[in-house]
């Protein structure tokens, strides 16, 4: 112990030196460690945040959300199920080898191969084949007409075929190598991943020489890291944390409304909510404005439907249900549901206060809400189970990472989907039709009709558009995007 005490002043000095770091590095505090470095395996936020900087994507989105070229320079549909991509031929992987159409076709075939067991398979399994059809060309065929294809391909990282085949899948996951602006220097599991800039990258010299992604699970610890300069940016904070950090002069909050929609599921086929009047009453009992101002501290945007404006298919002029407790109470009385007990199922993954707010608001109009909490896998099993298992209510935060209505209301409300407890043929026809045409105007008109049905039927209530909160050093310049992408090349010190 005495030795430890003697060592303290020295340690203090070395710790102090870390604060005055030269600004060609970036340190990111993440709530967890990377699960896999192989971009075709896990896609949890942390893995995604790190490996997307090591690889290039076939296409990407610009700050406004528009799909723009990256490895592909242009694309065109030759028929409803065939799309031809022209590719850049000046891209090299980090080992100096050229990125070829073979690598692109290989990357697609790899992720859609069922034997590879990719958890991302369901995002790409509408792709039937990928063939090299020219010296700088790849042709994809989809199983059906599939308008969400481009949105899905935003998430496709291109991996080097020869390198992956040489190393094998398991080793590639440990020592990933791509054509992105950063290469992995070291991955200390549970501690951090360190990335070095590829100075000769085809998109230009990256803004930081090294980037370190640290795993720091506890929020107060991440905040302390930011306050002492040990880290430059972090995420995964609650609105309350953000408010508490507003007073820190050296720090700034960066926020962006995302494509993530917070909604309240209302079961249309089982329990007291089977009666449409009860569901409509619930929609009118919820005070969304108070939820946004009091619980979210303003870090949220109001929505009128179960979709955000960041998604294709958002219909701005469908009126949301007004907040009208008196009318809600009358409707519940008319439905004979006054005093009825309904269950709200939930897990620790969801905001406890929001559950309690819903409980209170519905209590005010005559419904007794019982909150039933389980762990996340059990919650999912119930929520995705039979209508009886799903109970009356549950909150959700949905993001398809595709910014398209198809990825939201199709899985949530189309009959036959595990999330949907609704069976409405008119609604099914609209979302099915929107799925099989590439004509955007036609798709929008189908979604308008679909949302009109949802407004009447209320199988769910849109609560708010989620806002992503990042806490960063004041000198960091960056505009976060609606798809919560974390591309280091979009940031810089000023």
Partner 1 sequence: MIRHLAGRLGQALVASFGVLTIVFFVMRLSGDPTLLLVPEGATAEQIAALRHALGFDRPLFVQYLSYLADLARLDLGESLVQRSGVAGIVAERIPYTVELAAGALVVALGIGIPAGVAMAVWRGGMVERLLAGFVLTGQSLPTFWSGILLILLFGVHLRWLPTSGADGLSSLVMPAIALGALTMSTFARMTRIAVLDELSRDYVSAARARGLSLGAAVARHVLRNAAIPVVTIAALEVGNLLAGAVIVETVFAWPGIGQLAIQSIAARDFLIVQTVVLFVSVVYIGMNLLADIAYAVIDPRIRLDR
- Residue 364 beta carbon to partner 1: minimum distance, rounded to whole angstroms: 32
Residues at the contact surface with partner 1, assessed by CB under 8 A? 1, 4, 7-8, 11-12, 14-16, 18-19, 29, 32-33, 35-36, 38, 41-43, 114-115, 117, 119-123, 125, 169-170, 173-174, 188-192, 214-218, 220-222, 224-225, 227-228, 230, 374-378, 380-381, 384, 398-401, 407, 410-411, 417-418
The minimum distance between CB 442 and partner 1, in angstroms, equals 22
Q: Do 111 and 131 meet the contact criterion of CB atoms below 8 Å apart? A: no
Q: Which residues contact 54 (CB under 8 A, 6 or more apart)?
A: 37, 39, 176, 177, 178, 180, 182, 183, 184, 195
Q: Least Å distance between CB 323 and partner 1?
A: 28
Nearest distance, CB of residue 473 and partner 1, angstroms: 15
Q: How far is the CB of 419 from partner 1 (least distance, A)?
A: 8
CA distance 311 to 488: 24
Radius of gyration, CA atoms only, the chain: 25
Residue number, 64 or 170, with CB nearest to partner 1: 170
Long-range contacts of 438-442 (CB under 8 A, 24+ apart): 438/77, 438/80, 438/145, 438/147, 440/312
For partner 1, the closer CB: 29 or 56? 29
Phi then psi dihedrals of residue 169, to 5 deg: -60, -40
Question: Which residue number, 62 or 175, has a Cβ lying nearer to partner 1?
Answer: 175
Q: Answer for the pair 370, 342: CB distance below 8 angstroms, yes or no.
A: yes
Least distance from C-beta 99 to partner 1, angstroms? Answer: 24
Q: 240: burial class by Cβ within 10 Å (0-12, 13-18, 19+)?
A: middle
Considering the complex, state which of residue 100 and residue 192 has its C-beta at the smaller distance from partner 1.
192
Q: How far apart are CA 333 and CA 346, in angstroms?
A: 27
Closest C-alpha among 308, 313, 318 to residue 406: 313
Cα separation, 255 vs 480, in Å, equals 7
Eight-state DSSP code of residue 291: I
Q: For tokens 């409304």, name the residue.
A: 257
Shortest distance, position 275 Cβ to partner 1, whole Å: 28
**Taking the complex as a whole, how short is the minimal distance between the CB of residue 87 and partner 1, in angstroms?**
26
Tell me whether residue 16 or residue 336 sits nearer to partner 1 (CB atom).
16
- The residue among 125 and 356 lying less far from partner 1, judged by its C-beta, is 125
Strand partners, 195: 184, 211
Comparing CB distances to partner 1, the nearer of 53 and 152 is 152
- Residue (4 or 316) nearer to partner 1, CB: 4
């Amino acid at each position: 112990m005495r030795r430890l005490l003697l060592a303290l002043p020295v340690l203090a000095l070395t710790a102090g030196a870390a604060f005055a770091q030269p600004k060609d590095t970036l340190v990111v505090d993440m709530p967890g460690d990377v699960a896999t470095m192989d971009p075709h395996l896990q896609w949890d936020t942390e893995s995604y945040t790190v490996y997307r900087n090591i690889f290039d994507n076939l296409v990407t989105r610009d700050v406004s959300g528009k799909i723009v070229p990256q490895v592909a320079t242009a694309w065109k549909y030759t028929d409803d199920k065939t799309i031809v991509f022209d590719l850049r031929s000046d891209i090299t992987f980090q080992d100096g080898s050229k990125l070829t159409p073979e690598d692109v076709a290989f990357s697609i075939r790899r992720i859609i191969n069922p034997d590879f067991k990719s958890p991302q398979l369901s995002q790409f399994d509408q792709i039937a084949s990928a063939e090299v059809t020219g010296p700088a060309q790849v042709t994809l065929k989809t199983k059906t007409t599939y308008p969400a294809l481009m949105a899905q391909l935003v998430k496709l990282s291109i991996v080097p075929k020869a390198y992956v085949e040489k190393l094998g899948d398991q080793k590639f996951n440990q020592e990933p190598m791509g054509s992105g602006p950063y290469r992995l220097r070291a991955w200390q599991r549970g501690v951090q991943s360190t990335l070095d800039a590829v100075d000769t990258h085809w998109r230009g010299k990256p803004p930081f020489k090294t980037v370190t992604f640290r795993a720091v699970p506890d929020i107060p610890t991440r905040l302390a890291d930011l306050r002492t300069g040990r880290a430059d940016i972090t995420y995964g904070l609650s609105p309350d944390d953000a408010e508490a950090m507003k007073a820190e002069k050296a720090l700034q909050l960066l926020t962006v409304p995302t494509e993530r929609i917070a909604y309240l599921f209302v079961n249309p086929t089982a329990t007291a909510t089977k009666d449409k009047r009860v569901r409509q009453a619930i929609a009118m009992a919820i005070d969304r404005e108070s939820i946004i101002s009091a619980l979210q501290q303003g870090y949220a945007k109001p929505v009128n439907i179960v979709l955000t404006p960041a998604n294709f298919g958002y219909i701005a002029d469908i009126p949301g249900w007004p907040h009208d407790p008196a009318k809600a109470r009358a409707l519940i009385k008319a439905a004979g549901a006054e005093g009825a007990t309904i269950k709200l199922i939930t897990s620790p993954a969801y905001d406890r206060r929001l559950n309690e707010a819903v409980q209170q608001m519905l209590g005010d109009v005559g419904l007794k809400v019982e909150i039933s909490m389980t762990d996340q896998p059990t919650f999912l099993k119930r929520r995705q189970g039979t209508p009886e298992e799903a109970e009356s209510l549950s909150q959700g935060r949905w993001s398809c990472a595709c910014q398209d209505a198809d990825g939201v209301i199709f899985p949530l409300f189309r009959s036959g989907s595990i999330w949907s407890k609704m069976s409405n043929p008119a609604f099914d026809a609209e979302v099915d039709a929107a799925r099989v045409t590439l004509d955007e105007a036609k798709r929008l008109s189908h979604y308008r009709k679909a949302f009109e049905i949802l407004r009447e039927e209320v199988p769910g209530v849109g609560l708010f558009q989620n806002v992503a909160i990042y806490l960063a050093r004041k000198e960091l310049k960056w505009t976060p995007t609606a798809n919560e992408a974390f591309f280091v090349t979009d940031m810089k010190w000023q």
